[in-house]
Chains A and B, each alone.
Chain A
Amino acid sequence: MIKKFDKKDEESGSGSNPFQHLEKSAVLQEARIFNETPINPRRCLHILTKIIYLLNQGEHFGTTEATEAFFAMTRLFQSNDQTLRRMCYLTIKEMANISEDVIIVTSSLTKDMTGKEDVYRGPAIRALCRITDTTMLQAIERYMKQAIVDKVPSVSSSALVSSLHMVKMSYDVVKRWVNEAQEAASSDNIMVQYHALGLLYHLRKNDRLAVSKMLNKFTKSGLKSPFAYCMLIRIASKLLEETEGGHDSPLFDFIESCLRNKNEMVVYEAASAIVHMPNCTARELAPAVSVLQLFCSSPKAALRYAAVRTLNKVAMKHPSAVTACNLDLENLITDSNRSIATLAITTLLKTGSESSVDRLMKQISSFVSEISDEFKVVVVQAISALCQKYPRKHSVMMNFLSNMLRDDGGFEYKRAIVDCIISIIEENPESKETGLAHLCEFIEDCEHTVLATKILHLLGKEGPRTPSPSKYIRFIFNRVVLESEAVRAAAVSALAKFGAQNDDLLPSVLVLMQRCMMDSDDEVRDRATFYMNVLQQKQKALNAAYIFNGLSVSIPGLEKSLHQYTLEPSEKPFDMKTVPLATTPITEQKTEIAPVATSKLPEKLAPSRQDIYQEQLASIPEFQGLGPLFKSSEPVQLTEAETEYVVRCIKHTFTRHMVFQFDCTNTLNDQLLQKVVVQMEPSEAYEVLHYIPAPSLPYSQPGSCYSLVRLPDDDPTAVSCTFSCTMKYLVRDCDPNTGEPDDDGYDDEYVLEDLEVTVADHIQKVLKPNFSAAWEEVGDDFEKEETFALASVRTLDEAVGNIISFLGMQPCERSDKVPENKNSHVLFLAGVFRGGNDVLVRARLALGDGVTMQVTVRSGDETAVDVILASVG
């Protein structure tokens, strides 16, 4: 029997759920009454509600049963009961994907959408668009256009929003409705305005000029809808960012004027947009910050939350701009909404003075267990920033962090803590031992493989250099006994580093290593055997090369080279020096802690930029036989911005040659360029071998031409050279609208800026995690030393920066950071010179009247040493 709401049901208590024990099959059985005549609207309505309820609960409907129910439902269109009809629309939308042949209701819906009942028209449009595909859309196009400009707001809104949903599928059809949407945008109804604006923007967002015109129009006309204002602010700030428009642009003025809007939603949107703009000055921020300050004392929790969250962002870049709000923030640290309290405290930690740190930390520890992981990460980030600002506070922080580390929490949270501790250790040598001790304790009971291996790696790097390295061995070896393969392998590598660095530990390490050789996992056994054999040699150079400093080659490059080698076996052993180097060495700098909203996408191992270039260049026949690509420079602009032609150059260095890749863009829509080459006149003994022209450059489609240059053989120290460049090409005028070129053209040329090749183009950065080991490994066969005076440099920081950028080498051991208030500093740089020899530089700097620099260079090859000294001089 049909379950009905009767009196008995009602009185059976308010706790029961009339839908609780619904059976799908029973409900579908009931649906048969749809076929009864006359239709009983009340009962049918109740059954439809049950079906939608079941679908909403996640009940699975098979295609056959869904189709059956759907077809029965179509009969209900005969009834004129309004609610029943509306529920039919909902059922159509819910079943659109599970039932077959839903398009049979098209004509009924089309009738309702164009009918006299305004109540039906809007919902009918939305239901119809849900079941329509591109071909059918064209059939109802006429009705849609009429609906968009209909004078009934609900009809117009429904049509606009449905069109927006259809854009993804049928862009070309919806695009034709721009004029109607334009008309709707001037409607008096605020929602219609908003929806029309949204659709217009979506259709035009790839055409910057059209977006700009649209903004111009709407910002002047003054919309009534606060939603539409928010949308305009977002469009304006996106456009500002893309065009890199200055803050004197009318768009910025518009956003700023919205700070005075009477609707809080708009004011907040504008403030948030200003705060998120890159390169905003403190003065430009001030009005935004002061409205946020007002919001801090709002009775609405959402508004307080929004304000303090945004202020927290400001504090990351401009702590001083937020100081004015400190009093308001203080009031929020006891807010009953813990999210607000947490954000307030972390903001204060960024803006407040050193003396308030202890008090704030105490406050936050009182409720840290109540807040969600996301906010715990925010707290950890604040602590991390604080440690950089007030290094003396690291003991308080370390204590707090170790307590947090012991609490329950997800991976992201734990990772943030571990990263923070690691960065504290790196910044403050005196905190190293406590930090390592906390981490050791953590890995004793750590379920996250990634974190355990990361910490083991750190222990291997830092542990051997502490005063009592032996105490870490126990923690590391425990991992070998207890953990999964990946962790065991990492533990073996860490152990090897202790053995290599500390002679007195070596015998014990060898014993442990011996045990690891019996491990059940291949990788662990292989590593143990390998390290065992290296360690037994007791040679510093071997230890440095194979234990401390790993491979610095690009992994995809190595894979490709090895594959190539197996394809063409030769007598010669495989040479590691032929493998391209990794372009972005694993930075020793503090890893950026991910923002609060971490994307859930897994990280993909993308081929590096250089691997891509290598591939591109290898496909050009003239460049085969140049050997592996050694280094690709950052693009150098050879034209001013906003000129007729835009040209930038990327310098590719090979063992004996250089290839210059010119990326050219033609910005004139009435010209087609053909046979484009860049002619180069070298100042030194460089020889241009080949020009490879870009066959044709149509308007705004970038193309590349190349020049191949041989480096001088007789004088290997000639590393720098200046080229004067001229772009030569054949111009064919063409019709700007159709792009149809004239039959004949004429030769023309365009002078570009000079291109410099410097010593940095010949050296690839390589990170040596243990510089002193590498220094010993290279040895002093070709060591040279010279002293220079840098008269024009005022500070050590500046000197360090200049040297790094000039030589293009990788600073090691965090020596690029000059401690404060020091008069001398040692900078360690590592790199590989063209040809594959390591080059190491030790620069001792002393600050006196200007900076004095003593440079010591070591390399396996004398030329490299000479080149560096000659170029520094």
Chain B
Amino acid sequence: MDEAHPEPSLYTVKAVFILDNDGNRLLSKYYDPELYPSMKEQKNFERNVFNKTHKADNEIAFLEGMTIVYKSSIDLFFYVVGSAQENELMLMSVLNCLFDSLSQILRKNVERRCLLDNMDGVFLVVDEIIDGGVILESDPQQVLQKVNYRVTDQSDRFTCQSSLICSSQVIQSLSAAL
């Protein structure tokens, strides 16, 4: 049993990324400078992970010596990466927090178009959950509070946009049905 105890450290998350259903990167952050230092290696890794995970919604995988927890929603894939020794449940709590926070910001429309339209919010959410690999917050309510879209100006914009998307979707699905 060569795998030693995990070194006591707050640096839990090695990387987090969101891909679309073609495996394209929408957002990704690597927190360990020794892990895939170049953009090419990172995209390679993402491609590899995507290929192994997009078919079956299995929640957890082990690839290239890394534990990866993931979740998908419509046309989006969310991934959180940790070391082989990492507590899988800690990674899960990060993934769940990320997903739930985004779900609330996007008014439950966790899909690609809506995510891209609110990219600033997505960047801010990720920034509030993980800082340099350290879990900064794991409670979605706290994250939302910290990102703080004020009812007056900000959340207004999001409601308006997401409702627009909703309506455009409704129209599309209706026209498709017709």
Which B76-104 residues have a C-beta within 8 angstroms of A? 83-85, 87-93
Does B27 make an interface contact (CB < 8 A)?
yes
> Which residue of chain B has its CB nearest to the CB of A211?
B8
10 contacts between A and B (CB under 8 A): A14-B111, A14-B168, A19-B119, A48-B120, A122-B146, A191-B136, A302-B92, A313-B3, A596-B65, A597-B84
Q: With A and B bound together, what is the CA distance between A87 and B147 in angstroms?
A: 11
Does A103 make an interface contact (CB < 8 A)?
no
Contact with A along B52-96 (1 / 0, CB 8 A): 100010111111110001000000000000011101111111000
Does A337 make an interface contact (CB < 8 A)?
yes
Which A258-300 residues have a C-beta within 8 angstroms of B? 264-265, 268-269, 272-273, 276, 300
Is the beta-carbon distance between A49 and B119 smaller than 8 angstroms? Answer: yes
- Are A14 and B169 CB-contacts (below 8 A) given A269-B87, A372-B61? yes
> Which residue of chain B has its CB nearest to the CB of A162?
B131
Question: Contact residues of B with A, CB < 8 Å?
Answer: 1-10, 25, 27-29, 39, 42-43, 52, 56, 58-65, 69, 83-85, 87-93, 111-113, 116-117, 119-121, 123-124, 127, 131-132, 134-138, 142, 146-150, 153-154, 157, 161, 164-165, 168-169, 172
Q: With A and B bound together, what is the CA distance between A448 and B10 in angstroms?
A: 39
- Are A301 and B60 CB-contacts (below 8 A) given A14-B172, A122-B146, A317-B1? yes
Is the beta-carbon distance between B131 and A264 smaller than 8 angstroms? Answer: no
Q: With A and B bound together, what is the CA distance between A191 and B168 in angstroms?
A: 40
Does A207 make an interface contact (CB < 8 A)?
no
Is the beta-carbon distance between A276 and B5 smaller than 8 angstroms? Answer: yes
Q: With A and B bound together, what is the CA distance between A93 and B126 in angstroms?
A: 13
Is the beta-carbon distance between B87 and A83 smaller than 8 angstroms? Answer: no
Q: With A and B bound together, what is the CA distance between A90 and B61 in angstroms?
A: 31
- Contact residues in B for A241 (Cβ distance below 8 Å): 5
20 extra A-B contacts, CB within 8 A, seeds A205-B8, A372-B62: A14-B111, A49-B120, A82-B154, A83-B124, A87-B123, A90-B124, A90-B127, A93-B127, A123-B127, A126-B131, A158-B131, A234-B6, A238-B5, A264-B89, A273-B5, A302-B59, A302-B92, A338-B56, A594-B2, A597-B84
Question: Contact residues of A with B, CB < 8 Å?
Answer: 5, 7, 10-11, 13-19, 42, 45-46, 48-49, 52-53, 56-58, 81-83, 86-87, 90, 93, 119, 122-123, 126, 154, 157-158, 161-162, 164-165, 191, 194-195, 198-199, 201-202, 205, 227, 230-231, 234-235, 237-238, 241, 264-265, 268-269, 272-273, 276, 300-303, 305-306, 313, 316-317, 336-339, 372, 374-375, 594-598, 600
A152 smallest CB distance to B (angstroms): 10
Q: With A and B bound together, what is the CA distance between A374 and B52 in angstroms?
A: 12
Is the beta-carbon distance between B116 and A597 smaller than 8 angstroms? Answer: no
Q: With A and B bound together, what is the CA distance between A273 and B5 in angstroms?
A: 7
Q: With A and B bound together, what is the CA distance between A317 and B165 in angstroms?
A: 57
Is the beta-carbon distance between A337 and B59 smaller than 8 angstroms? Answer: yes
- Contact residues in A for B116 (Cβ distance below 8 Å): 17-19
- Contact residues in A for B10 (Cβ distance below 8 Å): 161, 164, 194-195, 198-199, 202, 231
Is the beta-carbon distance between A161 and B131 smaller than 8 angstroms? Answer: yes
- Contact residues in A for B1 (Cβ distance below 8 Å): 276, 313, 316-317, 595
- Are A10 and B56 CB-contacts (below 8 A) given A227-B138, A300-B92, A306-B88? no
A14 smallest CB distance to B (angstroms): 4
Instruction: Say whether chain A's binding surface is mostly helix, strand, loop, or mixed.
Output: helix
- Contact residues in B for A305 (Cβ distance below 8 Å): 59-60, 88
B11 smallest CB distance to A (angstroms): 9
Is the beta-carbon distance between B168 and A337 smaller than 8 angstroms? Answer: no
Is the beta-carbon distance between A339 and B132 smaller than 8 angstroms? Answer: no
Q: With A and B bound together, what is the CA distance between A123 and B129 in angstroms?
A: 12
- Contact residues in B for A5 (Cβ distance below 8 Å): 117, 161
A314 smallest CB distance to B (angstroms): 9
- Are A119 and B117 CB-contacts (below 8 A) given A164-B134, A305-B88, A374-B63? no
Is the beta-carbon distance between A56 and B8 smaller than 8 angstroms? Answer: no
> Which residue of chain A has its CB nearest to the CB of B8?
A234
> Which residue of chain B has its CB nearest to the CB of A265?
B89
Q: With A and B bound together, what is the CA distance between A820 and B61 in angstroms?
A: 42
Max count, chain A CB within 10 A of own CB: residue among B64, B121, B131, B153: B131
Q: With A and B bound together, what is the CA distance between A527 and B72 in angstroms?
A: 59
Is the beta-carbon distance between A11 and B119 smaller than 8 angstroms? Answer: no
A90 smallest CB distance to B (angstroms): 6
Q: With A and B bound together, what is the CA distance between A338 and B53 in angstroms?
A: 11
Q: With A and B bound together, what is the CA distance between A415 and B15 in angstroms?
A: 29
> Which residue of chain B has its CB nearest to the CB of A277?
B5
Candidates A194, A202, A317, A339; contact of B61 at CB < 8 Å: A339
